[in-house]
Amino acid sequence: MPENPAPAAGPAAGFARDYAEVSGIRAFEPERIGQVLRARRRRERVLPADGRLMVVAADHPARGANGVGDRPMAMASRTELLDRLRVALADPGVDGLLGSADIVEDLALLGALEGKVVFGSMNRGGLQGASFELDDRFTGYDAQAVADANLDGGKLLTRIALDDAGTLPTLTASAEAVSELAARRLIAMVEPFWSRWVDGRVVHDLSADGVVKSVNVAQALGRTTAYTWLKLPVVDDMERVMEATTLPTVLLGGDPSTSPEETFATWRKALSLPSVRGLTVGRTLLYPPDDDVAGAVRTAASLVH
């Protein structure tokens, strides 16, 4: 890993110089977190001139999902994760971050979010492997907190399982979050999956039919869909999936299961489809097999922009 980038220049005073100072601010000056977030330099528009968005995702640990490939605790070290995120965010082709509040605040204190688009992760209650995994309650940001933190929108994981009663409260809470974000003119990035229980594990239907069904449910949530975006997996017959919606859509990376070359080729093809506005990718770029974060991010950003 390269050395940590220096804090980005920006109008907010008092960026932390290192992780020890981040910890000190949290202990002795917690009010500075809100001050830095409110002073954060935002873009005038979420989408840049080319209409495409490259976002790095880092909300997995908040759901107990620390694994990457065959490394079950790859994301366990917070400082290593922040190192990798700072390298990714330093690439001019990366437009922003999707993260839980703890990660967003750490990176804001380090000056890494100046001029970036930031989405706050909202429902992290469906812990990986839990018996209540599909009752995915909103334990992170709510709409008012997204607004108060000077963010650009919120992200909702919305897994739909006909064999689990936890789906209904998740759908109800997701619909309310979409409505409350829209009332504040903030983006609701909905990440739906058509899911079921198989041998005690949650399994997603990644067929085109399964993804289309999840899209149909997700895009109807809320009192208005004016500010709703979708975050979808790349699957076979992606053309048919994208025919199911007119909403702006970003593609997710997931836990990598193919070689980087195969993954990038799949993304390149999907990015050519109407309504696809970019990528929101985490583990694939932050923990590539060769640990060259800068190289993986550079390649992905070149596909988007």
Mean pLDDT, all residues of the chain:
93
Domain boundaries, the chain: 19-159+250-304
Average of per-residue pLDDT across 228-252: 97
* pLDDT at residue 287 is higher than 60: yes
Least confident piece of the model among 12-21, 43-52, 55-64: 12-21
Percentage of the chain surpassing pLDDT 90? 90
Q: What is the pLDDT of residue 274?
A: 86
Q: What is the pLDDT of residue 146?
A: 98
Average of per-residue pLDDT across 210-214: 98
Average of per-residue pLDDT across 244-250: 97
Q: What is the pLDDT of residue 1?
A: 54
Beta bridge partners of 195: 161, 204
CATH architecture label of 19-159+250-304: Alpha-Beta Barrel (3.20)
Q: What is the pLDDT of residue 7?
A: 45
62 Cβ contact partners less than 8 Å away, ≥ 6 residues apart: 100, 102, 121, 124, 140
* pLDDT at residue 8 is higher than 50: no
Percentage of the chain surpassing pLDDT 70? 94
